[in-house]
Structure 1
Amino acid sequence: MSESLSSEMEAIWREELSPFLAEREQRRKKAVGNIVVGTGLGVAAGITAAAILLAFGLFPFALFALIGLPVAGGAVGSAKFNELKKEVKLGLLGKLAEASDMRYSLQPAEPARFDVFREHGLLPNSDRRSFEDHFIGERHRSVFELYEAKLEEKRRSKNRTYWVTVFRGLLVRIEFPRTVEGVTVITRDKGFFNMFEGWGRKTFGSKKLERVGLVDPKFEKIFEVYSTDQVMSRYLLTPTFMERLLALETAVEGKKVRAAFDDRQGGGELLIAVETGNLFEPGSLFKPLDDEERVRTLLEEIDLVTGMLDLMVRPPELGENVLADQS
């Protein structure tokens, strides 16, 4: 492994991950072979069926056979391939998460606070949704959950119906270590379009939220803030917190981070949504499994997660102006 990795991770690679991958290499080769054979048989069947159908002048059916049968053959052949991919993903991410004091599962049993994310306007409307890659743990005595969400909207044109991805990224729930009362929502500034949504107030669920002005004009240009409690919102939205929220986008290589503080759990809760690519994938199984690069990539993404959480909940360091906007 790379010299930049810790001695602990070197040991995990050598003693656990490398043997885990090596044991599955023969299954990988066989699974890839099944795809090749399945696709090849599908191509042969497609060509034969298309030739027969063309002889009867059935061009649309011939085209369908020529395209559909190879796809079907590949799909049948990929069953073991997909099964192995899930097994490898769970094994690698489970062990890497454990090394970072987290627990991992392929999917959340219940996507934490998803309806609350929607209620507070942190996510767009969608007609289809899927969730994967669930992490749970604790950082700086703050319990958190994190998972990936993909939201799609059905759209129609004159000739067809199709799906558009309207959100793909991370949803995070953190038991925030500071007192939270009421609801404070931090969304992106829409500039000119603010006038169409009502400049001064919003309603989320049954709560009416008033617009909050931010002290720093830098943040005022980027975010819109609404809250049920003006005093509490200023207590929460310190310059340090807002800087960290912006830094989070860079940390996870994402965009359009937005957040909400909510007191409904009886304590302090921080919800964060940030758009990212599809993270936490084990890499191509068309390449040998026992490859340190696939582990290094996953480890880098897990480090992004832990770094993001540390960024949001770690105690302020000497020199950080945490309470500057509470005077």
Structure 2
Amino acid sequence: MASANELKLLYENQLKEKLSALESTRKKILNRYILTFLFLAGLIAGNFFLVSLNPPEALIVISIFGSATFLIWFMYETGKINKKYRVTFKSGVVAEVVKLINPEWQYLYDHCMSQESYQRSGIFPHHYDRYEGDDFVTGQIEQTDFQFSELHTQYKQVTYGPKGQRREHWVTIFRGVFLHADFNKNFSGTTFVLPDTAERLLGKFGQSLQKMSGRGELVKLENLEFEKQFVVYSSDQVESRYILTPTIMEAMVNLSNRFGGEIYFSFVGSRVYFANSINEALFEPNIFRSGVNFSDMKEMYDLFEMISVLVNELNLNTRIWTKE
């Protein structure tokens, strides 16, 4: 694992120059966004003025159609420039940060966690209509193999207004980072460790709601700090207690305190699945301010370091079991 000082050296010796070279493209994209906004405002104002002059109807149609066609073309061209900028940033900057952490890890900026892995985890059972992600990393830390990526899943919600008008909007199920790693034990059941939002928000009433999860039996454990933050369900009470040792529970509390947001775990097959809810785009260049700053690289480094932190905190390289 690389140190923060090594990241600083990488930034000063390589990444700063690459980011500086990208600045002209970033500014070009930003200027095109500003021009699009100004053109749209001018288009609306101009057409209102044109209508006030009572010109032939055909002239109004031609004006609106011509302006709209130009605007669509301009936005399309801007999108192409933005896509190229994004690819250059990820392949030339993000990839170097991953390589610094571990040169043997494989980074694929345009891939994501498989839908099979997401479904197998059982963490988010709600059906989804849209499955998106990127920044896929796969590799090994000592004896433990893992896969990691950013994910965003949504379902489409349809409602109807008082006059029967159909409305659609997209509801997020999960947005953040998703990871699974080898636990070196074949589980006979499934165990879920989820954020205890019900008890946190509703107190004693929330405790009664915990029993109606549909994920298996509610498992009560002895670690009070763990119980404050998480709720555990399992199809096998004995196995869940075998998995969730005092060390593992303490590690989960540490991970929750360190990463923030809502974190989820499941133990399925021979894998531990982990999801950290982060409601923003990750590992992306910021168009609206200079990309030449070390803080962005440090934030990116910390997110990828989550992989190593998780493996080490959960002691996944300590082979206390053998697979059967």
Taking structure 1 as the reference length, what is the TM-score of the superposition? 0.74
Matched, 1:110 2:117: no
Runs of 4+ in 1 over 6 A off after TM superposition: none
Match of 1:260 among 263, 266, 277: 266
Hey, what's the Cα distance between the residues in 2 that align with 1:273 and 1:78?
34
Matched, 1:78 2:78: yes
Hey, what's the Cα distance between the residues in 2 that align with 1:299 and 1:132?
16
Matched, 1:172 2:179: yes
Letter in structure 1 aligned against 2:145? V
Q: What are the Cα deviations for residues 222-266 of structure 1, in whole angstroms up to 9, with x where unaligned?
A: 4433333333222111111112122222222222x2221112xxx
Distance 1:92 1:42, change over 3 A: same
Query: Which SS does the other structure have where 2:309 is aligned?
Result: helix
Hey, what's the Cα distance between the residues in 2 that align with 1:241 and 1:104?
28
Gapped runs of 5+ residues in structure 1? 204-208, 317-321, 323-327
Letter in structure 2 aligned against 1:296? K
For residue 92 of structure 1, report the CA deviation from its aligned partner. Answer: 1.6
For residue 169 of structure 1, report the CA deviation from its aligned partner. Answer: 1.9
Hey, what's the Cα distance between the residues in 2 that align with 1:217 and 1:29?
52
Aligned residue pairs, count: 295
Query: Which SS does the other structure have where 1:23 is aligned?
Result: helix
Distance 1:258 1:110, change over 3 A: closer
Hey, what's the Cα distance between the residues in 2 that align with 1:76 and 1:142?
44
Match of 2:154 among 152, 155, 173: 152
Hey, what's the Cα distance between the residues in 1 that align with 2:73 and 2:34?
9
Q: What are the Cα deviations for residues 55-80 of structure 1, in whole angstroms up to 9, with x where unaligned?
A: 5599xx99xx7xx9597577345321
Hey, what's the Cα distance between the residues in 2 that align with 1:31 and 1:225?
47
Q: What are the Cα deviations for residues 139-181 of structure 1, in whole angstroms up to 9, with x where unaligned?
A: 2421111122222233325264322323222221111145533
* 1:183–1:229 Cα contact (<8 Å) kept: yes
Q: Specify the alignment match of 1:30 in structure 2.
A: 28
Q: What are the Cα deviations for residues 182-206 of structure 1, in whole angstroms up to 9, with x where unaligned?
A: 322223444536756855x946xxx
Q: Specify the alignment match of 2:242 in structure 1.
A: 235
Hey, what's the Cα distance between the residues in 2 that align with 1:210 and 1:244?
23
Matched, 1:309 2:275: no
Gapped runs of 5+ residues in structure 2? 200-204
* 1:85–1:285 Cα contact (<8 Å) kept: no
Hey, what's the Cα distance between the residues in 1 that align with 2:54 and 2:210?
60
**CA RMSD, Structure 1 to Structure 2 (Å):** 3.6
Q: How does 1:55-74 map to 2 (within 5 A)?
A: 55=53, 72=72
Q: Specify the alignment match of 1:325 in structure 2.
A: none
Distance 1:221 1:233, change over 3 A: same
Distance 1:178 1:116, change over 3 A: closer
For residue 93 of structure 1, report the CA deviation from its aligned partner. Answer: 1.3
Distance 1:35 1:304, change over 3 A: same
Hey, what's the Cα distance between the residues in 2 that align with 1:38 and 1:54?
24
Distance 1:56 1:139, change over 3 A: farther
Letter in structure 2 aligned against 1:113? S
For residue 109 of structure 1, report the CA deviation from its aligned partner. Answer: 6.7
Q: Specify the alignment match of 1:319 in structure 2.
A: none
Distance 1:30 1:213, change over 3 A: closer
Q: Specify the alignment match of 1:131 in structure 2.
A: 133
Q: Specify the alignment match of 2:202 in structure 1.
A: none
Q: Specify the alignment match of 2:296 in structure 1.
A: 294
Distance 1:50 1:304, change over 3 A: farther
* 1:140–1:313 Cα contact (<8 Å) kept: no
Higher helix share: 2
